[in-house]
Amino acid sequence: MQTVNLTIREQKLRYAKPWLAIAYFSIPTVLIMLIQGLYNIIDKELALQFAAIDLRQDPWYIQQYNLITKQNVTNIPLKDMQAFINVATQYTTQIYSLL
């Protein structure tokens, strides 16, 4: 008879109770998904609260806004800046998910 050398993970998977083994292997994945989801929400909220106010007066964003809307403003409306940040953070979230 030949003995089989099992790693600790293989022993837990083979000899543990089924739900305990499932929990052992799936909880880290669930935690990673939870942290990633919370990061995206917090990132968007912080950007909307703090960056939108500062970027409204940034010359580069004002120039781009004037080119896109065919207007001549010196301050971007807050709602338009927040919409831009929503799009930018959504693209960032999608790129993180794809990577």
- 6-47 pLDDT, tens digit each: 888 788 777 878 888 788 889 999 999 899 889 888 988 988
Asked if residue 3 has pLDDT above 90, the reply is no
Q: Tell me if 75 sits within 8 A of 62, measured CB to CB.
A: yes
What angle, rounded to 10 degrees, do the helices at 59-69 and 78-98 form? 100
This prediction has a pTM of 0.59
What is the distance between the alpha carbons of residues 45 and 33, in angstroms, rounded to a whole number? Answer: 19
Alpha helices in 1-99 (DSSP H): 8-15, 18-46, 52-55, 59-69, 78-98
Give residue limits of the domains in the chain: 8-98
Asked if residue 62 has pLDDT above 90, the reply is yes
Res 1: pLDDT: 62
| DSSP helix/strand/coil, 16 | coil
Amino acid at 21: A
